[in-house]
Structure 1
Amino acid sequence: ENFPIANGRTISASQFLRLFLFDDQTQYAPISKLSGGEKRRLHLMYVLYQNPNFLIFDEPTNDLDLPTLTVLENFLQQFQGTLIIVSHDRYFMDRIVEHCLAFEGNGRIKDFVGTFSEYREFDKKQISDGKEVKIEKVTEFEKKLEPKPIVKKEEEVAARKLSFKEKSELDKLNKEIPEFEVKRSELSKLLNNETDYDVISKLSDQLQKLSDNLDEMELRWLELQE
């Protein structure tokens, strides 16, 4: 049975296995001989080969190695069905999603048409302007909740103000995060175009380290924004 792809074409099961990095020799190997990463990749491939029209992924970047994740990203970019992704990986989401639900607290959910990076830029503009910004691509719906009023002491409010050192750190993060994102994008492109396993392994290690550093930087950025 062939698998349907874009433009009405199909590929065979063997071609689909090669798409998920199983060479001709590995395709005939017993499952018991596969590595843990290969077994996860095979299970993922089996699910996708059923040609579902609805998929939900919960933190996929936590469980898949980078070569598998790259293949999955390329596959999902062509996916014609409905896809829901829960992920902390901003780069992964930017490549795949085109619609975000942002849970902003106090029962408020913002329905944003665009990537996560586009939403974050929109949110940063709101913060810098100190007011709501009207934008055509955003619609809003709010749950009817009645949150209890929170009374904060004056010293608690004052404590939220950034020190000079923290402001400098935030400025540095605002400059470095985009630079790291460009580097990650460049590494990902190299990984997508590479066929040599040893080179793929080295690029994957570099990409993983860079992604880990970027995650830490973004977490710190969020802490300073609170």
Structure 2
Amino acid sequence: MPLDISPVSKIDFQGVVMTKESQRAQLHKTIWQIANDLRGSVDGWDFKSYVLGMLFYRFISESITAYLNEGEGEDFNYTDLPDEQAEPARAEIVKEKGYFIAPSQLFQNVQKNAKNDENLNETLMDIFRSIEGSAVGTPSEDDFKGLFDDLNVNSPKLGNSVAERNEKLVKLLNAIATLPLGKFDDHTIDIFGDAYEYLMTMYASQAGKSGGEFFTPQEVSELLARITIGDKKRLSSV
């Protein structure tokens, strides 16, 4: 498929047209708010792991939901399906997606019930283990092994008590839920790359050279691509 390299891309998110710049501004605003909520308890490098880990959890939850909903039709919603009805399709879903998440374990359902879950930290830990475990013995095992190791939901850095830790986790889930990810094929920015870059900027002094020496800012990559492209409007590859 030819590559669309039009200079300005836009998506519509809940009726609001968002440019690349407005998407990026919203992402940075949300990350900054999370930083304020966790300030004083989680240092910069650990904070990066919490944000990216939870962001990825949301992404794969919505990815598998969109995939299954598309295959079943308009009246089907995987998020509303009882776990026992989803379980028989586990093997086929893992074969096609590389992992499995039960409906009750989806980010959107966990986030919705997080405030009332007194064992939220344990709930999340079990879910992360389940996601990683669903890929064991499959070609995607190496991709998911240890995926959430850096997202320690039982860390004393989140709080001295379970209640304090869960309070921070609720704030983290709610903040990640506000990010305007839109549809997977409509992103005008690289959400993960941009989040990582912004976090590296926020905590550059703590991350040091080893944390960022192999990361190229998006603006530099885009500039180099556009110099290479020249005046062409559509290409097969760059």
- Shared fold (TM-score greater than 0.5)? no
Query: Between Structure 1 and Structure 2, which shows a larger proportion of strand residues?
Result: 1
What's the TM-score once normalised by structure 2's chain length? 0.22
Task: Choose 1 or 2 for highest CA Rg.
Answer: 1
Query: Between Structure 1 and Structure 2, which shows a larger proportion of helix residues?
Result: 2
Higher relative contact order (CA 8 A, sep 6+): 2
